[in-house]
Every structure is written in structure tokens, then in C-alpha cells.
Chains A and B, each alone.
Chain A
Amino acid sequence: MTRRRVVITGMGTVNPLGHDVESTWRALLACESGLAKTTLFDASSYPTTFSAEVKGYDFARQFPNASRHRHAGRHCQFALGAAMQAWRESGLDDYKELDRSRLGVYLGSGEGSLDFDNFTSLLVDAWRDGRLDTVRWSQLALAKMDLHRETEQESNMVLAHLAGEFGVAGPAFNVLTACAASTQAIGEAAMQVRRGDVDAIITGGAHSMIHPYGVTGFNRLTALSVRNDEISTASRPFDLTRDGFVLGEGASILILEDYGLARRRGARILAEVLGYGASADAFRITDQDPAGAGAAASMRAALDDSGCSPGDIQYISAHGTGTKQNDSVETKAVKAVFGDLAGKVPVSSVKSSLGHLIAAAGATELITCVLAIRDGILPPTTHYRTPDPECDLDYIPNAPRKATVRVCMSNSFGFGGQNNTLIISACP
């Protein structure tokens, strides 16, 4: 049995650098920074006062059916926008023969944010003698908290909105494997197509943790950069002076489909998904396996699945968060897998410009791989100044590079040790 081939026929994104694929790509190649002072809440006294926010996105104006999704949370609004771009590009909108029960959706979407003002004031108003007065709390909660604001926080709700918008009746999954979520979603979505469970599938991710508790959580973990006086250059993957990642937000959605279907309906094929690999560090919840064994296993599994050898990979889109640990571990893992070729294959992290979109990061990065193949140009690692002896690969520093590439690898490693790798190639 020859296996079904899986191709990408549509892409869309809403992120800190743009509200669509082309403007994002231009900004990345121009080395723009999506980082700025946090405006979504007063973070002025937080250890980290900046982030990579989506700027100026007006869902009500930019999205055609916005009123239908009036309860959609911030990340869900991003996802709907990104999905509409991808859906239109794929041309599936006009393909009337599409069997909706064979259209799936497989997302790596984050939870919605808490109703911060109500939630927090309730904790204050119902606090008595050092503990929560639950009678008072429940009374206030029933009066103040809103059904939709609460239910939209469940991490299957972006899935639900996308299914509603595009009439999906086939299988629907959401995975939330932290920073690896959308890479895992795309990989598993590809498996759905390959196995023949669906003809086409909407995949990718969405997330926004730029809220008072999200930043609190990451600040307490000391995972974020605290370069409050050098905001625009604070995200420094692989640089010796890196001091943490920069929290971003956004959504990126791709349409995957069966190659045969794409050919039959004359769709423009953007790239082929060649391989997918996954692994677990099984090490610690707070640290990556320092030898990078889990990350390496994920890359090897993807190579194996794709039938590629390391020599076939012409560009690696790194997880490259800008934390001390990730970047050196990832470098070790690349060396373990690529051996003598490790210094020759270009590696970059677009998180240097975009920030870390958490669950939405992997899908956004995969889109940049597709564009790199299309345009023959590799996005740079920006803000790279001081080499780190532990990070000694070719990181495409500070300027895009012309290169004809046909096969790219994209890595995502989730907090807690869930690792995922995708390999894509030029149109078959």
C-alpha cells in the first residue's frame, strides 16, 4: 500500500509582526522586532515589562462573520482570522464536492485567559480572615461571572469556533503540549490525512498568555527575559547574553490535504509534509534533558518518517527560545543528529523577532519554512551579537540569506519534555 501524500494548500497568520502571511514575512526579512512594552495590562512593576503583542488587530472589522463569534476570546479571534486566510488560499471554499464529514480540524490551541478583573476582585472581596469565604465567593461569582467568558477558556473552544466557521463535521482534536502544541497538531493532522481518515484538515495553533497571571507564571519560573531597558533586542536566541524568552501571542493556521485531492481540484500546492517525529524527555518537569537526547530522538523520528537523511535537510527552524538551557540543549541535539554536517546546515530562530507564541509558535515557524522554500531565502536569527561557545552552529545571524532550499526541518520542544519535529519539502 503506497501511503497518501500530504500537502499544504493554505496558510494564514495573525502575530506580533503582521496580520497576514506576506506582511509577516516582509517584516521578518527586514529584521523588524515585534517586541514592545506590554499594553494589555499594567506590567510596569513586573520583572518583565514587555512582550510581543499582536498590534492593532480589529476582529470586528477585519473578520467577515465577527458577530457570529462575538464570545470568542482574544486568541480565538486571532485563530479565526488566520484560518480564514488559510481557507481562502486553499480554494476549498469554492470546492463544492468537499465532504464535510471528511474535513477535520486538529489544533494546538491554548486555554483562554481568565476574566481577570472579576476573578481577581472576587478573590479580594470574598477573602475573610486569611481564607476564602466560599459562600460569599459563590454568591458574587454567580452575580458577576459570565457564562461565555468562562466557557471560552476551555482549550477546545478555538476548535469549536473553527469547526463552526468552516462547517467541519469530521474528527476534531485539540492538543495542548505547551510550546510544542501546534507542531504536534500539524504532525498528527498529517497522520490523519496520510491514514485516509480525512481528505483535508485545518491545523495549527493559537495562544495568548500575555495577561497578568500568564506573565506572573513565567516570571516566577524565571523563564522570561528581563531586559526591560533593551526591549526591542531582548529576544536573543543562541547569543551568549540571552536571558530568557519573550512572551508573544498569535495564531497560525494551515490547510493540509491529500495530494491526490489537491491535484484533482487544481489547488496551488505550497509544500509537502514529508515527516513527523515525537518524543518525550521523561526527565524533569522543570528542565530539559541536558544531553538533548529527547530533542534528538524527535528529530531522528521525523527523519525516519520522511525517508530523509540528515544530509537532505537544508534549513532547520529551531525551537530557539532564547533561554540559556533550550538553546544549548538544542544545539547539542542538532550535533548529535547531524554529526559532521551540523555546522553546515543553517539554523535560525524567528522567535528572535516574533517572540515566543507558545502553543502557536510551531505553526508560525512552519509557515516561515514554507516561505523559505518558496522564495529561496532563509529568515535570520536577529539580535545575535555575542557567540556562545555552547552554541556554535550557523544561526544565520542578523540578515536573511539567499539559499535554494527544498527540504526544511522545524523543531518544537514543550515545557515538561514533549518534543516534536516536522520535515517539509518543496512542491512535489
Chain B
Amino acid sequence: MADRRVAITGLGVVSPTGIGIKPLWESLLNGKSGIRPISLFDAGKFPCHIGGELADFSARNFVPKDYRKAVKVMARDIEIAVAAANLAFGDSGIVTRSAGDDKMTIEPSRLGCNIGAGLICSDLDELGSAINTSVADGKFDIRAWGSQGMNNLTPLWLLKYLPNMLSCHVTIIHGAEGPSNTITCGDASGHLTVGEAARLIERGSVDAVIAGGAESKLNLMGALRQTLLNRLCPDGASPQQACRPFDVTADGTVIGEGGGLLILEELTHAQARGARIYAEVVGFGGACDPAGFDVTRPTVGGLAQAVAKALADAGIAAKDVGLILAHGTAVANEDALESAAWEQAMGESARTIPATAVTGAIGSLFAGAGGVELAVAAMALHTQTVPPTVNFSTAAEFCHLNLSAQPRGAEIEHVVSGAFGTGGQSGACILRRYRK
């Protein structure tokens, strides 16, 4: 069973700098940033009014006609996942039920789904207009709400906001009847999800699985919580240059929205259908920081352990890695801990191996981050190119990673990508260059 190898055969990303892997990759190589003034809502008195907002995004373009009605019960997080799934399957060449029941080119029970998600906030205008029908003397009246007011919410209101609905809509649209999971571990969700998905293939439960994550915290509650955590940068002169991971001037992250889903496929299954193979998933490690529950302290969730485990799982040494895809939140004390974690796990190699981070271009995508980072890692292997770290110019004192604001050609045999989130979980994956 251990000889069931895992190939990446499809990439679907929805990001502030591009919808689809090609536009994202091109804008990354051009050093573009998708951070701009927030137009989705007025951030009012919050100190940060910029975000990595999706441009020209409508989920309706990504669902089959007979499923368009369902878009009405999708929170934005779900819309992103549904779009990314459509792009990922399209990119892989696997035809799913979205094209028609009889058109599917994979056995439904052998197709799994594992999508990371975050805490989805209900739309405040929607909830507010219902709540304000139940007000007496300027105060919310719960008895009026219970007997009448709640009826102003659509009957399916709850389903818009359940984190498992990202996976559920995707399984329904694409006819994925294999195991389906929803991992909710903040920014680590994407890596943990891809690691778990790879194991589903290894242990023979599925032949292919769609994995990654999606989230949008670009709303008032998301902005509030990140502001309370003191993780956001203040408004600066230029939104595009606001998020600067590992840079000496880094002073906080920016909320982005988006997600990435990858099609993982058992290697011989992919070969048999002549699929394009971006890379193989050859190692995974997860870890946590037992102090992570104190959210007032910065944490990288035991990232060094996760990376060390992933290297061991892949059976490679640090020097075999050609690219470090760092998480780089641009929150200065998190960047410092992250840089130290890479050094702890990889020793001197962490200073010489080319490294990069995508947060400067797209902001923090939380549960959506890992899937995008791993899609970028796969593209880096596929094209043998290290994308630039957008907005990086002078390394922070603590940062010894080999970063560059310019794209670099390289010989890359393995990429290691890791991420961590508030609360203290981390995950790391090793991708290997695929050779026929």
C-alpha cells in the first residue's frame, strides 16, 4: 500500500490576483499585489481599510446551470470553494458529474473530497434586518424573535454558514461519493487537508481526491477579530505594498479572501489516462504548539516539528530541498518565529535554499492559504521557477531565509511548504518533481 504514489494533476485557485492558476502564477512572476481598498464593506473605525479582495468574482459562473439556485445559500467561503473545485477538476481533465451523470470519467465512490474551512460569519445585513424586526424600546426582544422575528430568515439560513458545506456542495456538484472531510485548523487547514488526502490515496480508500481549503474573513466580523488579535497592518500610503513578509518594515498582515484546491490522484491512475502531472506529494507532517491556546502570544504551531516530520516522511534531507515555500504572514513576531522554525528544522540549508512567500501578493487567506501555497509550490516544480516574494526588499534582522523580490530559475527537486495558524497547529508538505 505504501507504494501507492500521489500525483497532483489539477490546480484550482481563487485569489485576489487571479482566478485560475495561470493568472495567479503570471501575476506572481510579475510581482503584482492584489491588495486594494476594501469595497465589499466600509471598514469604518477599524485601523485597516485594505484587503485582498477578489475582483470580478461570481460563483454563478462556476456551477452547472441546474445548480445555480443553490448559490443563494452559499456564504462567500462556499462560493470560493465551489469555484476553485470547478477550476481544479477542469485543469485535471477528470470529467465529473457537473458535466452530466453519464459523463463522469472516474468511479464516484473512488473520488474523495477534503476541504479546509474557517469560522464562517453570517452576513450582518441579512441577520440585522431580521433581528431589527424584533426590537422593543430599542432593545432586542427575544420573545418576539422566537415567535415571529426568526421567520424573516430564509429556512436554509444555517446551511449558509456550516463549514462542512464547502465540501458538501463540491461533492454534490461533482458526484464525489468517497470519503469527505472538513478540517478547521485556521491557516494550517490547507496543508493538513492535503496531507490527509494524500493518505486516503496511499491507504487505498480513493483513487483521486480534491483537497485544499477556502475562506473569506473579508467582512466586518473577520476584520474585528483580526483587529482584536492585533495582527493587521495599518493603512499605509500604498495598499499594494502594505503586506511585506520577512521584510524589515513588516508591520502586520492584510486580510485576503480566496482558496486553492488540488486534485490529488494515485499515480498509475493519472498515468493511465495520460494526465499532466505537476508534481508528487511525497511527505507530510503535522504538529502543534501546546502554548497555542493563549492567543495573545505569537505562535507558529510547532512548525519546525511539522517540517522535520515531513522531511522524514519523504525520506529526504534538508539539502535535497530546492525551495522553501514559507507562510510569511508579515506579522513581525510571527515571521521571526517562522524564520527560526525553518532554521531549526533544516539547519544551515534554511539560509541557502531559495525561499518565497505569497502573502505579500494576496494577503492572509486563513483556511484558504495552504491550498494556494501548495498550488504555487506545484507550479514552481513544474516550471522550475522560484516566484518572487512580493514586497520583500530588506530582510528583517531575525530573518535568514534566502528570499528575493525577483523570480529566479532553479533546479528544484523538492519543495517544502508549511503553514501555521492562530491557536497553534501547523502542517508541512513535501512535493517532488515528477519525472516520467
Contacts and interface: CB of A to CB of B under 8 A. Distances in A.
Interface in B213-233: 220, 223-225, 227-229
Interface residues of A, number: 92
A376 interface: no
Interface string B95-134: 0010000000000110011000111001011011101100
Interface stretch (A23-31, A41-49, A250-258, A386-394): A41-49
A170 B286 contact: yes
Given A151-B225, A174-B183, A280-B171, A169 B293 contact: no
B163 interface: yes
A282 B224 contact: no
Interface stretch (A116-124, A266-274, A319-327): A116-124
B293 A161 contact: yes
Given A177-B180, A285-B165, A285-B168, A46 B146 contact: yes
Contacts of A175: 181-184
B90 interface: no
Interface in A155-190: 155-157, 159-161, 163-164, 166-178, 184, 188
Interface of B is mostly: mixed
Interface in B263-284: none
Interface in B236-261: none
Contacts of B159: 221, 285-286, 415-416
Contacts of A191: 199, 203
A212 interface: yes
Given A151-B295, A160-B424, A285 B70 contact: yes
Interface stretch (A5-13, A84-92, A129-137): A129-137
Contact of B164 (A42, A104, A176, A188): A176
Contacts of B317: none
B132 A171 contact: no
Contacts of B352: none
Interface stretch (B11-19, B26-34, B135-143, B404-412): B135-143
A301 B70 CA distance: 30
Contacts of B129: 130-131
Contact of A164 (B118, B290, B425): B290
Interface residues of B, number: 101
Nearest to A139: B45
Given A124-B138, A172-B286, A282-B176, A147 B295 contact: yes
B228 A147 contact: yes
A297 interface: yes
Which among A121, A137, A159, A163 has the greatest number of chain B C-beta atoms within 10 A?
A163
A98 interface: no
A210 B45 CA distance: 33
20 contacts: A46-B147, A105-B288, A130-B129, A132-B220, A139-B45, A141-B220, A151-B423, A153-B119, A155-B163, A157-B293, A167-B290, A172-B287, A174-B183, A195-B203, A197-B286, A216-B158, A221-B159, A280-B177, A282-B97, A416-B159
Given A150-B225, A164-B293, 17 more contacts: A45-B147, A131-B125, A146-B228, A147-B295, A148-B295, A157-B293, A169-B305, A170-B305, A177-B164, A177-B180, A177-B181, A191-B203, A212-B142, A222-B155, A280-B112, A280-B113, A417-B168
